[in-house]
Amino acid sequence: MGKLTARTILRRALELDVRLRAVDDVAIEIEGRQVHPGVWGLAILNAFAEPRSLADDIRSLRGAVTGDQDLENLDSTIRKLYGEGVLCAAGGAKGALRARGFGGAKIHARMLDDRARTSAFLKAIAEVVQPGDVVVDLGTGTGVLAVAAARAGARRVYAIEASGIGRLAREVFAANGVADRVTLVEGWSTRVTLPERADVLVSEMIGNEPVAEDILPLTADARIRFLHPGSRSIPDALDVYALPVTVPAEELRRTTFSPGSVRDWSRWYGLDCSALEKAFAAEPRSLFVLPQEARNWPALTAPVLLGRARLGGGAITGPIGEFRSTSVGGVDWLWRERMSVPVETRGLLNGILVYFEVQLSPRVRLSTAPDSAAGTNHWTCVVWTVPDAREVHPGETLELTHAYTGRSRPRVGVRW
Ligand SMILES: C[S@@+](CC[C@H](N)C(=O)[O-])C[C@H]1O[C@@H](n2cnc3c(N)ncnc32)[C@H](O)[C@@H]1O
């Protein structure tokens, strides 16, 4: 990341999820992380909708600044948002490439280190791509999946990438002798056009919260604008599951105002911290955990299917009953809003872990279920904490709630 000076031109990252809880309580979701910018958050996001320098921004907001401390707060919030990748250097003709996040090495190293993930995608590509196919690799990253498609015999691969990592992918194509058949298309997939329609869509856009990286609308847009009708897709289908669990006390202690820690803080510091616990126990919070590290967490019911997306187009197979069907820009999303789930094991219900299973090709399936996630798996699972957690028993039925209709953050909870 470059040094930030008053003249650096910045703009906000193009794809952010922003939640406004109060005017001074903004939560920004970026690549599975939450950033809380404080009182200046909204004004900064607004000001950097278009590229501008730090100096220009501070000048335009000066009228609202209430004193030296406030000015310092504004300046440090901008620097924090830059450090988190929410604001990016807007240099170069593209002007939209993130300075960090997917533009940096770290996230791609983690994905490539996840052998189970990357090998599964390579296997599925070898199974699905036929000699002579035209392939779109949406979000090519380091370019590995595009190279695999070319090796499987694709006549042409369009490798679309919005972040600066695409420039490295170009070198990967050359080093693997496929540069003549792989075309790097720099930019957001929703804004670029391609010269011909494709037979296969390859795309690894599954987030830690499986559907929250906009996999559904982005796939829908690609199917409509880039693909032939009846084309193939890797992945073909995505299932999202919930698992009511007992989150170990040490895990809660590290991430929330748990009763145990609040008690200890009160004792250690001679303060009454119980208000923290009350305020935060009242609503569900999310924490993230590697599923392989949650393998031994007690599961209290069987896994519950929350939703199924048919990314490859065509009709959805599977349960209908209480499922609702929503078309997210043309991709079918079958989901349940409320479900009654029998308790199978006695235990404390204080969390609901969400994981996915994805059908990459007829023969390749990948899962982040705690009992089957690979040791190399890099995806974390979101765990929703349960307000008023309590002991549940076999014979009881839980009422789970879930909502995801398109672009909002999916939420899962339990109704007592
Ligand atoms: C999860 S990574 C996968 C990278 C690579 N395909 C792999 O499997 O190793 C997703 C990539 O898609 C890019 N990306 C996300 N949304 C995009 C969009 N709408 N258009 C183009 N690229 C996008 C990100 O910058 C990132 O490099």
Q: Is 220 in the pocket of ligand 1 (CB under 6 A)?
A: no
Task: Kindly state the helix (H) or strand (E) to which residue 22 belongs, with its residue range.
Answer: strand 17-22
pLDDT band at 213 (very low <50, low <70, confident <90, very high): low
**Active-site annotation holder among 204, 209, 277, 357:** 204
- Nearest residue (CA) to ligand 1, atom 11: 139
337 is catalytic: no
| Tokens encoding 165 | 């990592």
Give one DSSP letter per residue of 124-177, joined into a string. HHHHH--TT-EEEEES-TTSHHHHHHHHTT-SEEEEEE-STTHHHHHHHHHHTT
> Can you tell me the mean pLDDT for 236-258?
92
The distance in angstroms from the start CA to the end CA of the chain is 47
263 CA from centroid of ligand 1 (Å):
44
* Per-residue pLDDT tens over the stretch 144-170: 999 999 999 999 999 999 988 999 999
Determine the Cα–Cα distance for residues 15 and 86; give it in Å rounded to an integer.
9
Beta-carbon contacts of residue 362 (< 8 Å; ≥ 6 apart): 127
Residue 38, sorted as left (phi over 0), alpha (psi -120 to 50) or beta, turns out to be left
Residue 199 DSSP SS3: strand
- Nearest residue (CA) to ligand 1, atom 8: 204
61 CA from centroid of ligand 1 (Å):
34
Predicted confidence at residue 218, as pLDDT, reads 92
Select the more confidently predicted residue: 246 or 416. Answer: 246
283 is catalytic: no
Which pTM was predicted? 0.79
- Burial class for 148, CB neighbours closer than 10 Å (0-12, 13-18, 19+): buried
Which of 59-73, 106-120, 167-181 is predicted with the least confidence, judged by mean pLDDT? 59-73
Task: Kindly state the helix (H) or strand (E) to which residue 336 belongs, with its residue range.
Answer: none
Closest to 128 measured CA to CA, from 175, 189, 198, 178: 198
* Per-residue pLDDT tens over the stretch 282-319: 778 889 999 999 999 999 999 999 999 999 976 666 66
Determine the Cα–Cα distance for residues 22 and 27; give it in Å rounded to an integer.
10
- Nearest residue (CA) to ligand 1, atom 23: 139
Predicted confidence at residue 96, as pLDDT, reads 38
Atom of ligand 1 nearest to the CA of 111: 9
Predicted confidence at residue 12, as pLDDT, reads 85
140 CA from centroid of ligand 1 (Å):
5
Determine the Cα–Cα distance for residues 317 and 335; give it in Å rounded to an integer.
13
Measured N-to-C along each axis, helices 68-83 and 54-61 cross at an angle, to the nearest 10 degrees, of 140
Pocket test for ligand 1, best of 144, 205, 380 (most atoms within 8 A of CB): 205
Residue the block writes with tokens 């393998």: 295
Determine the Cα–Cα distance for residues 144 and 388; give it in Å rounded to an integer.
46
Write down the mean pLDDT value for the chain: 88
Q: Is 141 in the pocket of ligand 1 (CB under 6 A)?
A: yes
Predicted confidence at residue 92, as pLDDT, reads 36
Spell out where 36-116 has E strands.
Answer: 52-53, 87-89
Atom of ligand 1 nearest to the CA of 190: 19
Predicted confidence at residue 2, as pLDDT, reads 63
Determine the Cα–Cα distance for residues 68 and 163; give it in Å rounded to an integer.
36
* Per-residue pLDDT tens over the stretch 13-72: 866 778 887 766 788 877 666 788 888 888 898 888 877 888 887 777 877 888 777 887
391 CA from centroid of ligand 1 (Å):
42
